[in-house]
């Protein structure tokens, strides 16, 4: 589907894509301010940059099982989005993909219904092979209070979870080798940073691997890191 094909269609409220669509190009539905319901084809494997940016009425998005990538700013400022289902095939979430999604996030099929305001991405044994979180991916998600990342994750980009003011805890897998600057910048309520499978003999390894700038503006910075 071509770039910007439905961009700024301000009266568009619902859409169901045909089965032969495998790719949504950049800005396909950008600025469709009344769009509240989208049914994606099960054969879709990529969502382009700014595909649904500023679709302020969009509340639920069911990502198909074959989806492999979500582009930059794909859901930028979708302020009412509440339910996100991440498929096991997903490999790449690019920069600022969910930036300024201020809604109460409940991840269906990944976390339990009672975990509203929590984002729990499936671990490696559940076959979700996500190798990195892009720059600013969840920046400004102000209602997000808890994040657990999957084993197998290697990189957390700069500003990935910055300005998530309600975030109180983060679990970082032992497989993570890089955390970008200001990844958790400005999260004044962040109290617990949990490194999986770590012990006190590893503390120097973690201090060298991750820059102190990743946690600037957090309440306890390194002093309250929890080692299981």
51-98, pLDDT tens digit by residue?
999 999 988 788 888 888 888 889 888 888 766 667 767 777 777 788
Q: Are residues 70 and 111 in the same domain?
A: no
- Contact assessment for residue 151 and residue 123, using Cβ atoms and an 8 Å cutoff: yes
Q: Are residues 90 and 200 in the same domain?
A: no
Report d(CA 81, CA 76) in Å as an integer. 10
How high is the pLDDT of residue 93? 75
Residues 6 or more apart whose CB falls under 8 angstroms from that of 205 comprise none
Q: Are residues 97 and 111 in the same domain?
A: no
Separation of first and last alpha carbons in the chain: 48
Compute the Cα dihedral for 193, 196, 199, 201 and give only its sign. negative
How high is the pLDDT of residue 137? 77
Residue 22 lies in a domain: yes
Residue matched to tokens 């109290």: 191
Range(s) of the domain holding residue 15: 1-103
Q: Are residues 148 and 93 in the same domain?
A: no
Q: Does position 4 have pLDDT exceeding 90, yes or no? A: no
Q: Are residues 152 and 197 in the same domain?
A: yes
Minimum mean pLDDT range among 43-52, 106-115, 210-219: 106-115
How high is the pLDDT of residue 204? 56
Residue 157 lies in a domain: yes
Residue 9 lies in a domain: yes
> Would you say the pTM of this structure is higher than 0.85?
no
Q: Are residues 2 and 98 in the same domain?
A: yes
Radius of gyration of the chain (CA): 18
Compute the Cα dihedral for 53, 106, 64, 13 and give only its sign. negative
In CATH, what number is assigned to the domain containing residue 93?
Answer: 3.80.10.10
Number of domains in the chain: 2
How high is the pLDDT of residue 33? 92
**Beta bridge mates, 16:** 39
How high is the pLDDT of residue 60? 76
């Amino acid at each position: 589907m071509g770039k910007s094909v439905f961009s700024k269609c301000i009266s568009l409220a619902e859409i169901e894509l045909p089965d032969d669509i495998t790719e949504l190009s950049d800005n396909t539905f950008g600025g469709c301010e009344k769009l509240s319901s989208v049914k994606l084809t099960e054969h879709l494997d990529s969502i382009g940059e700014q595909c649904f940016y500023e679709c302020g009425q969009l509340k639920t998005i069911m990502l198909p099982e074959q989806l492999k990538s979500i582009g930059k700013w794909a859901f930028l400022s979708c302020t009412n989005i509440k339910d996100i289902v991440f498929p096991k095939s997903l490999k790449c979430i690019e920069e600022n993909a969910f930036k300024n999604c201020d809604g109460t996030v409940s991840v269906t099929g990944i976390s339990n219904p009672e975990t509203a305001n929590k984002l729990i991405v499936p671990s490696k044994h559940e076959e979700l092979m996500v190798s990195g979180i892009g720059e600013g991916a969840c920046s400004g998600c102000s209602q997000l209070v808890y994040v657990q990342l999957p084993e197998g994750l290697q990189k957390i980009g700069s500003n990935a979870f910055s300005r998530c003011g309600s975030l109180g805890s983060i679990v970082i897998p032992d497989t993570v080798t890089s955390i970008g600057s200001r990844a958790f910048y400005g999260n004044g309520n962040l109290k617990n940073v949990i490194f999986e499978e770590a012990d006190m003999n590893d503390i120097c390894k973690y201090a060298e691997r991750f820059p102190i700038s990743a946690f600037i503006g957090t309440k306890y910075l390194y002093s309250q890191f929890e080692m299981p």
